[in-house]
Amino acid sequence: MKNRLFGTDGVRGVIGSELNPLFVSKLAVAIGTFFSEGARVLVGADYRPGNEALKRIVEGSLAYTGLKVYDAGFLPTPALQYVVKTQGFDGGVMITASHNPPEYSGVKVIGPTGIEVDRDEERIIEEIFWSEKYRFVNWKNAPDRIERFPDAIDIYVNGVVEKVDVAKIASRNFKVLVDPANNVGALTTPKLLKKLGVKPIVVNGNLDSHPARLPEPIPENLVDTAKLVKLYGCDIGVAHDGDADRAMIIDDEGRVQWGDRTAPLLARHLVVNRGEHGKVYTGVSSSTIIEDLLRPLGVEVVWLKVGSVDIAHAMRRGGDALCGFEENGGFMYPKHQFVRDGAMTTALFLELLAVENKKASELFNELPRLHVLKTKYKMPRETALKIIELVKEEFKGERMITIDGVKVINPDYWVLVRPSGTEPLLRVMIEAKSEELAKQILERVEKYIRGVMNL
């Protein structure tokens, strides 16, 4: 981890301290030097404190490395990624901290495919940053201006609309509650729904750098939103994170559904109702429900390290993906783009409801109900790795996936024990057929945690 700037998804930090103008300008110059001179790069931002100023710092710094810089303004990350991919840009830079609290921002670097640059490319940028081997233009080639690119949102929304059966969706007269967390999803998802013939009801829909709810769309942050879905008689609710690449579905009974419950339904829809084929790519933190639901359809699940960037690149390399997803609400539909896309997820789920003529609650009730335990323990990475080896021995004989920590899979439960990629933590996730069994599995793991840490 020495000299690493990039985390699981981009470079992030607290605005004004970690992410200050000096650091950001140096990072942007390193990014500009990474791209070839003359490359066309699109820059955008979500709506966080200081992001407009950060965007200008980034744009100016990129321009002085000899890039042709275009300003897309405020928009979701998947909108910028879609435009980069489809409009001939050589790359993009997105100013966002996704689901992090409002005091954070960050920088994502997008390649020409619309996917964030891969891990090897991140290290090249980091090497430029630390070595300060920058490229600058001379005064004769200094940039005259930054070009505006005002059509990004319309290009993106129309791209989503083209991928689904609009007539089928419109025929159902759906009503959808949208919660974009006072951020850029407010600029796209309501517009998309109207084009699909759906009535949107928007809450937390003003661009506000001090949002009414925290940006991460998890059940504890969506209590009031979930109540409104049922109160207003909506068919579903959709809650985004700050940059709207994630979409958590709230069913008509007001239940917030995790992404690894939504994704199996969407994957089955792609196979059964749309006649599509391929493998499903997901991180080891996702539920094994996906295997149980898709095995009868002959669909293989590819388990990967946690992180949307790695999943996206794996799908693109494989060339055989039906879809990809994360349990946090990130769903990836390669026929649209390889990255997480909250608006595309919403459109596909509405198409599913329209085609099967069922309520969202009925579809989710068809999935098995498992008891979930998620916890974490503060410790150095070296200690976490020792515990993981002991857990492997404890559960020997069971099916294991060891690509990221260890995931033990049994017909009655699964347990994942893995070190955090960004913090000195050991994370433990369990799903079991009963609460009692989940607690028993956790005790089998915790005895090693207590032993190694002398607790």
Catalytic residues: 98
Enumerate residues 6+ apart whose C-beta is below 8 A from 401.
Answer: 284, 303, 407, 409
- Sheet strands (E) in 111-184: 147-148, 175-179
28, 93 Cβ separation under 8 angstroms: yes
Residue 175's region, left for phi above 0, alpha for psi from -120 to 50, else beta, is beta
How far apart CA 64 and CA 135 sit, in angstroms, is 8
334, 314 Cβ separation under 8 angstroms: no
Residue 70's region, left for phi above 0, alpha for psi from -120 to 50, else beta, is beta
Looking up tokens 């239940």 gives 255
Handedness of CA 15, 20, 25, 27 (dihedral sign): negative
Question: Residue 383 to residues 386, 419, 426, 452: CA-CA distances in angstroms?
Answer: 5, 9, 9, 7
Max CA distance (Å), the chain = 72
328, 259 Cβ separation under 8 angstroms: yes
How is 27-93 classified by DSSP, letter by letter?
Answer: HHHHHHHHSPTT-EEEEEE-S-TTHHHHHHHHHHHHHTTT-EEEEEEE--HHHHHHHHHHTT-SEEE
- What would the two tokens of residue 423 be? 């913090």
Exposed / middle / buried, residue 298 (Cβ in 10 Å: 0-12, 13-18, 19+): exposed
81, 88 Cβ separation under 8 angstroms: no
Report the relative pairing of strands 256-257 and 247-250 from DSSP bridges: antiparallel
How far apart CA 99 and CA 97 sit, in angstroms, is 6
302, 256 Cβ separation under 8 angstroms: no
Per-residue DSSP letter, 282: E
